Amino acid sequence: MNLSKFFKNTFLVMLACLVLSACATKKVQNQMQGDVYTGTDTVEYLASGVPDRVFFATNESVLTTASRDTLRKQAEWLRKNSKINVVLEGHADERGTREYNLALGERRANAAKDYLMTYGISGNRISVISYGKERPVDSGSNPLAWSKNRRSVTVKAN
């Protein structure tokens, strides 16, 4: 009897641990889908409801559904504010060689530029610069920090 009670208690404690750890994992995953950042704590806004940046998976320059949504909002805002030009700043995380990351940042910023252009924004209004891994927003050395740093940021040029 005592023994079964012991087992029962142990089981309850273990169950509690599982639930807690699941919560902890879920909290991180809430800010990442796969290894793409989906959180908002580093995001700034060009205008109300117009986020300034999109995020990428490791080694990728493919735009996610969320990124395309953000860029459509930016395109709409740029159509309304036709005198504003922008610079797209492409970035990579710190887990790659410097020179390759410069090229990767350029590729990411251009993926965003191409998308803005398909939504009617003239290429003359958009310039592109890559910072590679030189300008992280989060100086941490962990997957979440890296996901925030793999980004293309749209910045007003004038």
How many residues make contact with other proteins (CB under 8 A)?
33
Q: Is 97 in the site for other proteins (CB under 8 A)?
A: yes
> What is d(CA 10, CA 63) in angstroms, rounded to the nearest whole number?
47
- Say if CB 158 and CB 124 are below 8 A apart: no
Q: Is 147 in the site for other proteins (CB under 8 A)?
A: no
Q: Is 139 in the site for other proteins (CB under 8 A)?
A: yes
Site for other proteins in 98-137 (CB under 8 A): 98-100, 102-104, 106-107, 109-111, 113-114, 128-131, 134-137
Q: Is the dihedral of CA 20, 24, 30, 34 positive or negative?
A: negative
Q: First and final CA of the chain: distance in angstroms?
A: 78
With residue 6 as reference, give the H or E element that holds it: helix 2-29
Q: Is 35 in the site for other proteins (CB under 8 A)?
A: no
Q: Is 95 in the site for other proteins (CB under 8 A)?
A: yes
Binding stretches for other proteins (CB under 8 A): 59, 61, 94-100, 102-104, 106-107, 109-111, 113-114, 128-131, 134-142, 145
